[in-house]
């Protein structure tokens, strides 16, 4: 059984959800986080933006753009969602480094790349709810060359204490409302908010990467513990 036993939905469910919200994903993401999730993407980009970088679960391409800005020479965006890629392509077309981005439709648990194909890899807001996260971690390790780095960021289990208390209220009451108003899909955002509360801790997440064979695994909370960056090196 997966160590990440709390991914309770099927991949088909997720594909349908991301297909539905793709066109409004960026807008809701910025509004619901007051733009703060951009800081998390930039922190991960600073960790991995060297040489050829894999962006796994690239979605609308915002992490890929952050990697280019932080110095990556090229980025391969991988995602299962053609709808998300339509948004990413339209957005990155205007980017001065658009020629350095390639889009590959595929699944992070079965990466269509050779061993050691990438200098580094990153994945932002993806691992939390995919089924087969162990396989995803193992595949990421396989495609990063020795010495390269993986950095993963996600909104893992809410922090304890007062901040966590108010954050849960925000997740349960306000996030679905933003989803309903801005994306006309309260159900999708109710699920996404619930998946944060069922998620494993950053410590468990770090263990998962170590179990997949990454060395020097470390983690850092962001935004007061609402998000975490976890990274490791391929020995
Ligand atoms: C919450 S979005 C994150 C997008 C982007 N990384 C960001 O920073 O905003 C999650 C993305 O992961 C993709 N995804 C979900 N399951 C996947 C899988 N098994 N393999 C590849 N991509 C997947 C979805 O299609 C979606 O685009």
* pLDDT tens column, 157-189: 888 899 999 999 999 999 999 999 999 999 999
Which pLDDT belongs to residue 188?
94
Asked if residue 232 has its Cβ within 6 Å of ligand 1, the reply is: no
**Atom 16 in ligand 1: which residue has the minimum CA distance?**
130
**Among positive and negative, which fits the CA dihedral 209, 214, 219, 223?**
negative
- CATH code of 11-156+199-233, in short, is 3.40.50.150
pLDDT for 234: 98
Closest residue by CA, ligand 1 atom 23: 57
The preferred substitution site among 21, 44, 79 for testing ligand 1, maximizing ligand atoms within 8 Å of CB, is 79
Token look-up 């339209």 returns: 90
State the pLDDT at residue 7.
56
CA distance 187 to 40: 25
Residues of the chain scoring pLDDT < 70: 1-7
**Residue 5: its pLDDT value, please?**
37
Ligand 1 closest atom vs CA 41: 8
The answer to whether the pTM exceeds 0.75 is yes
Phi, psi of 212 (to 5 degrees): -85, 0
Q: Is the dihedral of CA 207, 208, 209, 211 positive or negative?
A: positive
d(CA 98, CA 201): 36
Q: Give domain limits for the chain.
A: 11-156+199-233
Nearest atom in ligand 1 to the alpha carbon of residue 131 is: 19
Cβ of 126 closer than 6 Å to ligand 1, yes or no, is yes
Residue nearest (by alpha carbon) to ligand 1 atom 8? 124
Q: For residue 225, give the nearest of 36, 4, 3, 31 by alpha carbon.
A: 36
Distance separating alpha carbons of residues 235 and 145, to the nearest angstrom? 9
Cα diameter, the chain? 47
Atom of ligand 1 nearest to the CA of 63: 8
* Residue 130 near ligand 1, beta carbon < 6 Å: yes
């Amino acid at each position: 059984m997966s160590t990440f036993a709390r991914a309770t939905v099927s991949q088909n469910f997720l594909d349908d959800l991301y297909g539905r919200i793709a066109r409004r994903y960026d807008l809701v993401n910025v509004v619901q986080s007051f733009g703060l999730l951009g800081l998390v993407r930039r922190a991960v980009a600073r960790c991995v933006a060297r040489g050829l970088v894999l962006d796994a679960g690239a979605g609308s391409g915002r992490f890929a753009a952050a990697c280019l800005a932080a110095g990556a020479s090229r980025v391969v965006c991988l995602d299962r969602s053609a709808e998300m890629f339509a948004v990413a392509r339209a957005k990155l077309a205007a980017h001065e480094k658009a020629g350095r981005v390639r889009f590959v439709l595929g699944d992070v648990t079965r990466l269509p790349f050779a061993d050691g194909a990438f200098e580094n890899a990153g994945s932002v807001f993806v691992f939390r709810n995919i089924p087969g996260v162990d396989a995803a971690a193992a595949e990421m390790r396989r495609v990063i060359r020795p010495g390269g780095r993986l950095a993963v960021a996600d909104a893992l289990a809410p922090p304890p204490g007062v901040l966590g208390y108010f954050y849960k209220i925000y997740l349960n009451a306000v996030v679905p409302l933003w989803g309903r108003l801005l994306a006309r899909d309260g159900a999708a955002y109710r699920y996404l908010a619930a998946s944060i509360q069922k998620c494993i801790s950053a410590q468990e997440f770090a263990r998962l990467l170590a179990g997949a064979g990454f060395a020097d695994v470390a983690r850092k909370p962001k935004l007061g513990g609402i998000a975490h960056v976890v990274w490791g090196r391929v020995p």
